[in-house]
Amino acid sequence: MTELGAVFRPQLPPERLRSVARAADEAGLDQLWLWEDCFLESGVAAASAALAWTENLTVGVGLLPVPLRNVALTAMETATLHRLFPGRVRIGVGHGVQDWMAQVGARPDSPLALLREHLDALRALLAGERVTSRGRYVTLDDVALDYPPTAPVPVLAGARGPRTLHLSGQAADGTILDAAAGVDGVRRARRLVDQGREAAGRPGHHPVTVYLLAATGPGADRRMAAELRAEGLTPQTGVAGDADRVAEAVRHMAEAGADTVVLQPTADEPDPEGFVRFTAERVRPLLS
């Protein structure tokens, strides 16, 4: 069965997270996803707070930009979250927006090489291994976590381009697709990810998570049209309307190969708490 989530967009101030997370938890939402966009909010700090304020909600961070982060720090933070809140954390890493990375002096010459080295080291550290690495970007000297996760931790990778999708299949445990993907993009991503897994000799299922732009309630069509124009996206990448219409779009994503569909509200969503309740209480039952 397709898992369903919603995004707490960082255009909202951090102090709004508590009420949204609690509304999501009380409504029985599967997953609440957070972003670490520059220069808005910390993904890890926000995730820790949301997890502490809730009882059953799974919280995802999609994604942490690897140019901003030493891999040992990413591993420490991820392991801590998993030990504090077992089974309720999803962490994804990715290139980040390269213009933002340039603003902080962290833009790499080869984003693909950096992501590969980060994924390899991060997965090894979270598996409890002692790691020495002399890569182009990642350097570790006999590093191991004192408190690694007590159970296997999947590391997800955000991906859009074909080379990154192929890499995700090779080196990550799951893939996150942004809202630009659409149904055709999910099919393409699934194909490229599977090719990467085959090339790396990695059997088994590789879960795909995709964001889907969604709007409901008064002014939904107007808000969606404005969002699509602002982001330069096609109408096929968003859905506006009632629960039946949104659920139909989610089913199309699932049929294309998505394991988790995360509804992404417009940046000007007037009722974020109502949006997560709508997702859990109105859309979710239609997917059973």
* Domain ranges for the chain: 3-286
- Number of C-beta neighbours around residue 174 at 10 A: 21
pLDDT reading at 1 higher than 80: no
For residue 29, give the nearest of 68, 60, 58, 72 by alpha carbon. 58
Pairing of the two strands 31-34 and 58-65: parallel
H/E segment holding residue 267: none
Q: How many angstroms separate the CA atoms of 47 and 95, rounded?
A: 20
Q: If DSSP codes are grouped into helix, strand and coil, which group holds residue 211?
A: strand
Buried b (16+ CB within 10 A) or exposed e, 126-162: beeeebeeeeebbebeebebeebbeeebebbbbbbee
Q: What integer pLDDT is reported at residue 288 of this predicted model?
A: 81
Q: Write a three-state SS string for 122-137.
A: HHHHHCCCCEEEECCC
pLDDT reading at 143 higher than 80: yes
The CA dihedral of 129, 205, 85, 145, to the nearest 10 degrees, is 10
Direct distance between the N- and C-terminal alpha carbons of the chain, in angstroms, rounded to an integer? 7
Pairing of the two strands 139-143 and 238-240: unpaired
Q: In which residue are the tokens 């974020």 written?
A: 272
Q: In which residue are the tokens 């255009």 written?
A: 11
Q: If DSSP codes are grouped into helix, strand and coil, which group holds residue 114?
A: helix
**Residue 191 near residue 241 (C-beta atoms within 8 A):** no
Q: Considering the chain, what percentage of its residues have pLDDT values greater than 70?
A: 100
The CA dihedral of 2, 164, 97, 181, to the nearest 10 degrees, is -40
pLDDT reading at 7 higher than 80: yes
| pLDDT single digits (tens) 72-82 | 999 999 999 99
Q: What is the CATH number of domain 3-286?
A: 3.20.20.30
Q: In which residue are the tokens 């697709």 written?
A: 177
Q: What integer pLDDT is reported at residue 56 of this predicted model?
A: 98
Tell me, yes or no, if the pTM score tops 0.75.
yes
Token digits for 215? 């709007």
| pLDDT single digits (tens) 16-42 | 999 999 999 999 999 999 999 999 999
